[in-house]
Structure 1
């Protein structure tokens, strides 16, 4: 099948869309990337999403407007990607939507809300849409996160040394794969979320991120602020665990600055970069990983990557590109894969990583313009993923 994967992370940068041809060969999944792009949200919708994120308060009218607005902009992105990346040959769309709330109480997730009405996507493309990809895992007692563990465990299986996949989105999440041991995956804490919140704070909203980490590189770490931030109990919770802007949002930063003092702009950003580097390295160190493969928007922050490399030593830090896949599009490809698996009756999460009682197919299916005809469920579960080079 040719599948379109759609996603937007907690950084609310825009809609990531990727197209892939996916085949099953017994326990082997073959994924051929066909292209990807990021489509910016309209300015008005981006502002509305950010205003609705915790600790924002919204009305049901705002919820309806957001669900419709996100759905329509996802639909436009999917229609254009189908035309330009696949020549109109896509068979299926998998849409993660935009997370607006992740309901966590300690180590228990009670619910999760992703918005972006899939009916708009089905109407715009004529294709069936798999959406609401986290809820089934939560209903089975899991965190519904990190769903990236499915992709990571299949791709890193069989490596000679323990390895980790690290996604640096608004939150940072990691998957650890060791031969002969069950995989583990969890959110380590903030990735770019606090850094970006600080950038918006010090620029009065004129900028959303510190390009390449240039301003942070010019600053010095504030040890008092760093120590205060690292005292957050979340970092010491055992996995499985997940988090989001409900905890690590602008309010978290504001509280820390009131209590520990506010350094100048460059020192603030340098300290927050170090927070991400330290919290990731501390989370991975007990697992003895030899290689770490990073993906997500944080990879563009060159200063963050340098600090991560220093904190992770002797483990080696590389990007997902070394595994044959553009790391900036990894999550969109992940959701394409989950949609494909759901279509074939195959579970879309890893209970050892999410904490669910069982593995269940992910999401719900919205029919396209043709009658919905699902294939017979696949009997052999995938055990490995291979990224194939696109045809020239």
Structure 2
């Protein structure tokens, strides 16, 4: 099956496109013996082969409008209607371009949409809103679209996040079982989400706090929108951590909430930065010092969220390309005997892991496979919008037992 995935994170820094071939494979044995295809009534192992990945920039005007809504500025309902249409059209154009560039026709498009609000009360999610009407994607590509992928988990009592939990369970559970200890992962997007995969496959997944989100917001404000992030950590490297401000940030009540928990821009916005500066009582710090302090805040909160039993944490996401952030993560984690590695060391480009996850999520929903994000009962995720033809779903699969990542292929259709 060929799946095309579309997603844009909380930083609104572009539309990630991935075209992925997903095929039933074999589930590797724990004892090193021969592999074998599972019986037809048992969960299958699948192999994911990336065929094409790319990131397409947003129109600057559209991005500015999205960021305004996501930052909590009041807007009329007509603005929301316009944005969900314009975003749907932008995602549709990115999908059509991905199909042309990959040279293959997908059977399904998965569109996460653009998160503009994640509603939480008393530490738990009550609802979530992603914009980008899938009908535009289905109309332009002719392919069915899976969207609204978080709502079913929230309705069942979950957090709707992190979605990475189900992917890491399939990817790492057998390794965790074989090693006898948990393996942690962290995806460093706008928000940092931590997954702890335990032997036997249980996963604790939650948002630890901001990753790039506060850094990006400060850089964008300082540059009047000309720059969106701290490239290569250069600003953080040239600054010094302001300890009183860091102490104020570390007192944020979200950090004391017990997981599972989820958060977003509505909790960690520029007001959090400004409040911490005011609480520090030393006036506005130098720009570079502000970025250095926020980088340290991310590193501290991620490492503090890791369980003592984890010996390895696998990093992915845009923050994994920030050498200063990674250096601080490694140093702080090493103090606890935890090794920090990149997902690239395990065959997954850090920039593409979320895209692969969404492709696998689409494969599961298309085949009627429920996914579980934490301890909440599993649910089939998302809603399907038909393409030009009537929907014709395959017979349900009994489950997905494991996932293997094959090297990226180029050159068109398999």
Could you say which residue in structure 1 is the equivalent of 2:319? 298
Contact 1:296 1:327 in 2 (8 A): yes
Deviations 1:186-228 (A, max 9, x none): 0000000111111123323321111111111111111100000
Deviations 1:127-152 (A, max 9, x none): 00000000011110111000011111
Quickly say closer, same or farther: Cα 1:391–1:40, change in 2 above 3 A: closer
- Where 1:259 maps in the other structure, the secondary structure is helix
- Where 2:174 maps in the other structure, the secondary structure is coil
1:144 and 2:165 are equivalent in the alignment: no
Could you say which residue in structure 1 is the equivalent of 2:141? 125
1:238 and 2:254 are equivalent in the alignment: no
- Give the Cα separation in 1 of the matches to 2:130 and 2:225: 25
TM-superposed CA distance for 1:175, in Å, is: 0.6
Q: How does 1:78-93 map to 2 (within 5 A)?
A: 78-85=95-102, 87-93=103-109
Please say which of residues 196-205 and 335-344 is displaced more in the overlay. Answer: 196-205
TM-superposed CA distance for 1:391, in Å, is: 4.6
- Where 2:80 maps in the other structure, the secondary structure is helix
- Alignment length, in residue pairs? 385
1:330 and 2:347 are equivalent in the alignment: no
TM-superposed CA distance for 1:316, in Å, is: 1.3
- Give the Cα separation in 1 of the matches to 2:318 and 2:201: 30
Could you say which residue in structure 2 is the equivalent of 1:387? 405
- Give the Cα separation in 2 of the matches to 1:280 and 1:216: 17
**1:41 pairs with one of 58, 67, 92:** 58
Could you say which residue in structure 1 is the equivalent of 2:294? 272
Could you say which residue in structure 2 is the equivalent of 1:289? 310
Contact 1:3 1:92 in 2 (8 A): yes
1:166 and 2:186 are equivalent in the alignment: yes
TM-superposed CA distance for 1:333, in Å, is: 1.3
Alignment gaps of 5+ in structure 2: 26-37, 39-43
Contact 1:127 1:369 in 2 (8 A): yes
- Give the Cα separation in 2 of the matches to 1:135 and 1:178: 26
- Give the Cα separation in 2 of the matches to 1:391 and 1:36: 10
Contact 2:86 2:132 in 1 (8 A): yes
- Give the Cα separation in 1 of the matches to 2:257 and 2:243: 23
Could you say which residue in structure 1 is the equivalent of 2:23? 23
- Give the Cα separation in 1 of the matches to 2:322 and 2:258: 28
**2:118 pairs with one of 77, 86, 102:** 102
Alignment gaps of 5+ in structure 1: none
**TM-score (norm: length of structure 2):** 0.90
**2:393 pairs with one of 349, 357, 374:** 374
Could you say which residue in structure 2 is the equivalent of 1:351? 374
Deviations 1:40-83 (A, max 9, x none): 11011100100111321111111011100110000000011011
Could you say which residue in structure 1 is the equivalent of 2:82? 65
Could you say which residue in structure 2 is the equivalent of 1:319? 342
TM-superposed CA distance for 1:350, in Å, is: 2.6
TM-superposed CA distance for 1:180, in Å, is: 3.7
**TM-score (norm: length of structure 1):** 0.95
Contact 1:23 1:31 in 2 (8 A): yes
Contact 1:55 1:251 in 2 (8 A): no
- Give the Cα separation in 2 of the matches to 1:81 and 1:206: 27
- Give the Cα separation in 2 of the matches to 1:182 and 1:103: 26
Root-mean-square deviation over aligned CA pairs? 1.3
- Give the Cα separation in 1 of the matches to 2:313 and 2:182: 9
Please say which of residues 203-212 and 165-174 is displaced more in the overlay. Answer: 203-212
- Give the Cα separation in 2 of the matches to 1:95 and 1:156: 25
- Give the Cα separation in 1 of the matches to 2:70 and 2:88: 17
